[in-house]
Structure 1
Amino acid sequence: MKSEQAWIESPVAYVAALQERRLEKVEKPKDLLKVFTDAFVSNVSKSDAQLDLYPGIVTDEMQQSLNHDRLCVVRGMVQDIGESELFVLSYATSGSNGSSEVEGSSKRATAFLKDNTVLAEHSVLDPQSVTYADRQSLIVTPVPAENEWVLNELIPNFVLKCRSSAEDGEYSKASKIRKCGDDANGSGIVAFVKQKGVEVKFYGDENEVAINNVYLFYGVYETVPLATKLSAEQYLMDCDFSDDSDKREDGNSKLIFHSVFVRPVVAAAIDNIETNSLTAVNAIEKMCLLVSESRPLLLSALRDVFEGDEIIAEWMLLHLVSSVYKRADTMPIGNLSLNITNCNRQTVDRLYVFLSNTVANVVRIPLTVEALNKSKLVPHKDVESGILHSGLLQLPPGTSIIIDETGMNPGQLSDIGLSNLAALTALIEYQKVYYDFKFQNVELFCNYNVIILSTTRSLIKTSAQKVKLVDGMSQPELTSCDIGNTKKLRRYLATVKTLPYEVPSEMSEVAQQYFVQARQKDPKYSADNFHSLLNIARIITLSQGNVKLNGESWQKAVELLQAQEQCIN
């Protein structure tokens, strides 16, 4: 059997065979671990076999149907990252009398990808015979607020598991995990689907994964008896193994996933452009052509969403393609948050339906006094159990967040409500989310597209661009695009954010002259105003399929901001 096929059909057996040839020749634990991981990556990357793909969730169905021997993939968001931990990499096998064989004649075996099973079978290991290495412990969950069409894009490359029906499949549940709307009582309180994430043991570099990012984890499942003395640290420290079953999962066993390497998840829409065989310059040219051809299509669709209002459609397009591309100290640069006023519930519904078909992840947050007082927006850490509990705002990068303020009514905000309001303000203003660690708040930077739809100016006081929807320009109509055009819109929105950007020297001079003249006309014109103009000009340029700022894009940015100022004043 070819080595790459052996890795897929039985990774654990392949490791055992590999250690027979290599184990005695490797002295350092890191070198031994590298032998295993390098063999894994080199062999699996050469295979085009269709692998089983699981969501970041553990179900009873999975535990009954899993093929533990075969390589598979877990796709999910890193919800929490634990401390680095030790595990048993290799050990001396025992003689017939139960003790380790005589030194010099003993035979060693590897516990790689099955260390918990080894510890369960060998209740006592000679500490002197054990070789330890370290790995990262992660919690991986289904991707929050992910739309169904994203998962359908994976079918050509994987066999999707635990997705038997739209009603019962864990993937469909995962796609709704943080989509929220009115409950039966009409309160609009955010609801969550309670699901257990997957405990992933990751053997790659700790810098390869980051919290809230989405990855494909390649590896194997292991069923661990809950009575197992799992901790390698406990063997080192000779600790007492007290019964902590009350802190563990229900049942007699649990699943963990051993991941040898990961691949970051990029938009499937970009993969379909087929630029791998092109040079870097030609690939950019092809992406720019796609963007320039698709922009009118997106603009037309957004006009339908916003009752024919072309100015709002233009602002919305720029909002959707904006993205934080760097930070000045802690301030985000590149994003464009919006507050569209004069909206009603129907406007919110149309936008949500449109984004659900074109953007990978969409969350709708109904902003009412009751929802603010009862919702859990920020993640919080249980310091006793060490478990990080997700909040509504723990989402993957690039998520579109619709804050629906059209149902806001008078009322008194509680301490929780004020805290949630502050969290939304920090999210919009600084693109960061505070994680509640009980005795302190830990801030994590994020990159979300946040839009507020309200009847009047938003309750959330931020520097988000404020634009007003004009009444009755046309009968609102949301016509469904054919699948070809829908895919074009998805590719457009994903591709624009990947394009490079440059300001030619002549345009830099134009911008500097504009700033000087603006300050002369209005002493209140600030550096923040100028930064906003530069950002809008950048987004317009990229949205048109250009990678260099030109005079036309600059002038359009100036006119757009001037029209916006006249509208709100």
Structure 2
Amino acid sequence: MVSAFLIDAINDPTKVVQELYEEHTGDIDQFPTVVARHFSDVFLHSDDTLREVLPLDVNHPPESFAHRSLVRFHAMVQDTSSSPEMYLASLNKNKCGGWGISQNMPASEWPSSFDYCDLKEATALWAVTVPGQTDWRTEELTARSHCGSSSSQSPPQPHKYPVPNAPHIGVQVKIYDNEAAQSLKATDIVTFIGILTSESLDSEAVSSPMVPSLHVLCHKVQSIDDASPTEELATVRDDLIKWISDEALGGDEVAAQWLVLELSAKVSVFSLSIKRIRLIPDTATLEPHPSYLRLSLCHVFLHPHHHHPALPTLHHVLSDLLPQYLTVPLSLDLLNKESFSPESKDEDLHSGYLQVPQGTTLLLTENGVQEGKLVEKGIMNIRAVQEVMDAQTLEYSFPFSKFSFPTDIVTIVLCDGRKSAFFQTGFIVPLKTKPSLKDNLYKPRDQIRTPDTVKLATYRSFLAAAKRCFGSVQVAEETSRHIQEDFVRQRQEDPSITADDLIHLMKVARLLAASMLGREVTVDIWETSKKLDASRRKRLP
């Protein structure tokens, strides 16, 4: 029975909607929910059935599909500020008017008069190809393909994509199940299944461009990665560090370990026993506090190849490991001309480099920066990146107001010199390369010794599991006592040590616990964290 529903839905989704409408004529208000439930039952309960729907992507652009084809669009919500679209839910002869059906109706199908109760609203938003989605992740999602060619046309509304001039798909999305649409927000990753048409961007404007439009039958928001730690995954940590070190970091295993710690991080809110620290002579008390501590980390690798034109090898390695990853090659020209934060212009939200989905990793390279002057836009862009690093918030600018929205972006900076030229970072990790491996920092992809498919998949699962662990790492009571006593000893030996140093080490300890797929900071992890941070500090000038 399910396979019959599947075939009908794929071959003629419009017919299926009409048949459902005829079955539920008496309850027009609830009909969008009926449609969403039906198509969700058919497609969204199994990856296999979901992949039966043809993908809408850069290899299968809108113009490669027949009018009113059923497609799936794995996308990022870019703009939710569009006004709702009005549509007539019921036409003559018991015909459904939603999901773009009324566009193809002859005049005889339209009622000469209608009940205003039949006038409904559809939520309209703009969605784009997921920025930073790596090739292997795209291949996972696009298991089935069809005869289509890369788009030769420029995508509509290119200013709504975060990465300038990058190939992508932009689509006007219309959702009829308004209650389900209310929870969608900018940068959410969503799989939409719907009927593809081409429509005016603004139905009320006299001259408005035609854009791809997706009339959504059902959708599914990407959930937080559900990779779970296993004994098998826990054994690959050292192997992963060794591979990153040898292939991308000149044999520097300490730097590779810090990188793995950074990739284990995510924005989390903890009710810690370290919220308030009282310092009085010879004592330290760590007391519970009702506020929360947001942990977000960034560190710097000090690279010795100034003005190198090629992408660092680390770019290719991270692309193989992470589902969402972008390299931003910083230069004065890019900082002064491109946008990093979203900004509304003429009621149209323009995107920026930092409008990316939560969980994205950004590699900011400074080796292309030369002497020159930062203009106001460049300064604002640097401030936006710093705000993401410090508070994990991104400011959206509107004509008469500005709003900051939470994000979750891992930032890694590659630079020359003693520190970043632009940013105050959480950690500085000077790179110490082995003489025999110093030339591997900028080698091309085809020279990288990539692990086999199974091992690479295990590395990816390990990093996903580490992120999940980070959100639930706790400090055992025994460890808390040990930390308090240890901190008192350190202050007695060195009065310059402050509470900030303790908080810094606690962040390291939590990251280390997560990278070991643990849920608890133990005494051993605390001591290891101290040694790891001490080894990093010894490298600093």
Does TM, normalized by the shorter one, top 0.5? Answer: yes
Kindly state the Cα deviation for residue 229 of structure 1 after the two structures are TM-superposed: 9.4
Alignment correspondent of 1:154: 141
How many Å separate the matches in 1 of 2:193 and 2:413?
39
Q: Tell me if the contact between 1:89 and 1:115 (Cα under 8 Å) persists in the aligned partners.
A: no
Kindly state the Cα deviation for residue 259 of structure 1 after the two structures are TM-superposed: 1.5
Counterpart mapping for 1:217-232 below 5 A = 217-224=192-199, 226=200, 230=203
Relative distance call for 1:520 and 1:258 in structure 2 (3 A) is: farther
Alignment correspondent of 1:513: 485
- SS of 1:466's equivalent in the other structure is strand
How many Å separate the matches in 2 of 1:306 and 1:330?
39
Alignment correspondent of 1:66: 66
**One-letter code aligned to 1:565:** R
- Compute the RMSD of aligned alpha carbons: 3.4
Relative distance call for 1:124 and 1:31 in structure 2 (3 A) is: closer
Kindly state the Cα deviation for residue 498 of structure 1 after the two structures are TM-superposed: 1.8
Tell me which moved more, 363-372 or 547-556.
Answer: 363-372
Alignment correspondent of 1:479: 449
Counterpart mapping for 1:80-479 below 5 A = 80-83=79-82, 85-88=84-87, 90-91=89-90, 93=92, 108-117=94-103, 121=107, 126-128=113-115, 130-156=117-143, 158-159=144-145, 162=148, 164=149, 191-193=164-166, 197-204=170-177, 205-224=180-199, 226=200, 230=203, 244-245=206-207, 247-249=208-210, 254-265=211-222, 284=228, 287-304=229-246, 305-326=248-269, 333-344=294-305, 349-382=312-345, 384=346, 386-456=347-417, 457-476=419-438, 477=440, 478-479=448-449
Kindly state the Cα deviation for residue 489 of structure 1 after the two structures are TM-superposed: 1.7
How many Å separate the matches in 1 of 2:450 and 2:186?
36
Alignment correspondent of 1:35: 34
How many Å separate the matches in 1 of 2:305 and 2:326?
18
How many Å separate the matches in 2 of 1:113 and 1:79?
21
Alignment correspondent of 2:277: none
**One-letter code aligned to 2:512:** I
Q: Tell me if the contact between 1:326 and 1:334 (Cα under 8 Å) persists in the aligned partners.
A: yes
Kindly state the Cα deviation for residue 88 of structure 1 after the two structures are TM-superposed: 3.0
How many Å separate the matches in 2 of 1:523 and 1:203?
64
How many Å separate the matches in 2 of 1:223 and 1:37?
22
How many Å separate the matches in 2 of 1:330 and 1:57?
45
How many Å separate the matches in 1 of 2:354 and 2:147?
27
Deviations 1:309-331 (A, max 9, x none): 22111111111121112379999
Relative distance call for 1:308 and 1:120 in structure 2 (3 A) is: farther
Aligned length: 498
Q: Tell me if the contact between 2:74 and 2:191 (Cα under 8 Å) persists in the aligned partners.
A: yes
How many Å separate the matches in 2 of 1:327 and 1:503?
11
Q: Tell me if the contact between 2:162 and 2:355 (Cα under 8 Å) persists in the aligned partners.
A: no
Structure 1 unmatched ranges of 5 or more: 94-106, 180-190, 231-240, 274-283
Kindly state the Cα deviation for residue 375 of structure 1 after the two structures are TM-superposed: 2.5
Q: Tell me if the contact between 2:85 and 2:124 (Cα under 8 Å) persists in the aligned partners.
A: no
Tell me which moved more, 50-59 or 505-514.
Answer: 50-59
**One-letter code aligned to 2:128:** T
How many Å separate the matches in 1 of 2:459 and 2:154?
27
Alignment correspondent of 1:97: none
How many Å separate the matches in 2 of 1:218 and 1:409?
47
Kindly state the Cα deviation for residue 396 of structure 1 after the two structures are TM-superposed: 1.6
Relative distance call for 1:505 and 1:53 in structure 2 (3 A) is: farther
Deviations 1:30-87 (A, max 9, x none): 333333332332344467544234346798x633532625x32111111111356253
- SS of 1:259's equivalent in the other structure is strand
Kindly state the Cα deviation for residue 431 of structure 1 after the two structures are TM-superposed: 1.8
Kindly state the Cα deviation for residue 548 of structure 1 after the two structures are TM-superposed: 2.2
Counterpart mapping for 1:9-48 below 5 A = 9-24=11-26, 26=27, 29-45=28-44, 48=48
- SS of 1:261's equivalent in the other structure is strand
Relative distance call for 1:43 and 1:364 in structure 2 (3 A) is: closer
Deviations 1:150-183 (A, max 9, x none): 2111243x43675x36x97999xx9xx867xxxx
Q: Does residue 504 in structure 1 map to residue 466 in structure 2? A: no
Q: Does residue 540 in structure 1 map to residue 501 in structure 2? A: no
Relative distance call for 1:88 and 1:209 in structure 2 (3 A) is: same
Aligned-pair identity (%): 21
Alignment correspondent of 1:54: 55
Kindly state the Cα deviation for residue 212 of structure 1 after the two structures are TM-superposed: 0.9
Q: Does residue 560 in structure 1 map to residue 503 in structure 2? A: no
How many Å separate the matches in 2 of 1:496 and 1:427?
21
Relative distance call for 1:403 and 1:138 in structure 2 (3 A) is: same
How many Å separate the matches in 1 of 2:220 and 2:529?
38
Kindly state the Cα deviation for residue 389 of structure 1 after the two structures are TM-superposed: 1.5
How many Å separate the matches in 2 of 1:57 and 1:138?
20
Q: Tell me if the contact between 1:113 and 1:220 (Cα under 8 Å) persists in the aligned partners.
A: yes
Q: Tell me if the contact between 2:301 and 2:415 (Cα under 8 Å) persists in the aligned partners.
A: yes
Relative distance call for 1:223 and 1:413 in structure 2 (3 A) is: closer
Q: Tell me if the contact between 1:52 and 1:160 (Cα under 8 Å) persists in the aligned partners.
A: no
Deviations 1:411-445 (A, max 9, x none): 22111221122122212222222223244332222
- SS of 2:339's equivalent in the other structure is coil
Relative distance call for 1:46 and 1:373 in structure 2 (3 A) is: closer
Alignment correspondent of 2:278: none
Q: Tell me if the contact between 2:162 and 2:351 (Cα under 8 Å) persists in the aligned partners.
A: no
Alignment correspondent of 2:8: 6
Relative distance call for 1:541 and 1:379 in structure 2 (3 A) is: same
- SS of 1:54's equivalent in the other structure is coil
**One-letter code aligned to 2:75:** G
Kindly state the Cα deviation for residue 549 of structure 1 after the two structures are TM-superposed: 2.0
Relative distance call for 1:523 and 1:369 in structure 2 (3 A) is: same
Q: Tell me if the contact between 2:91 and 2:97 (Cα under 8 Å) persists in the aligned partners.
A: no
Alignment correspondent of 1:185: none
How many Å separate the matches in 1 of 2:485 and 2:115?
74
Kindly state the Cα deviation for residue 300 of structure 1 after the two structures are TM-superposed: 0.6
Structure 2 unmatched ranges of 5 or more: 272-289, 441-447
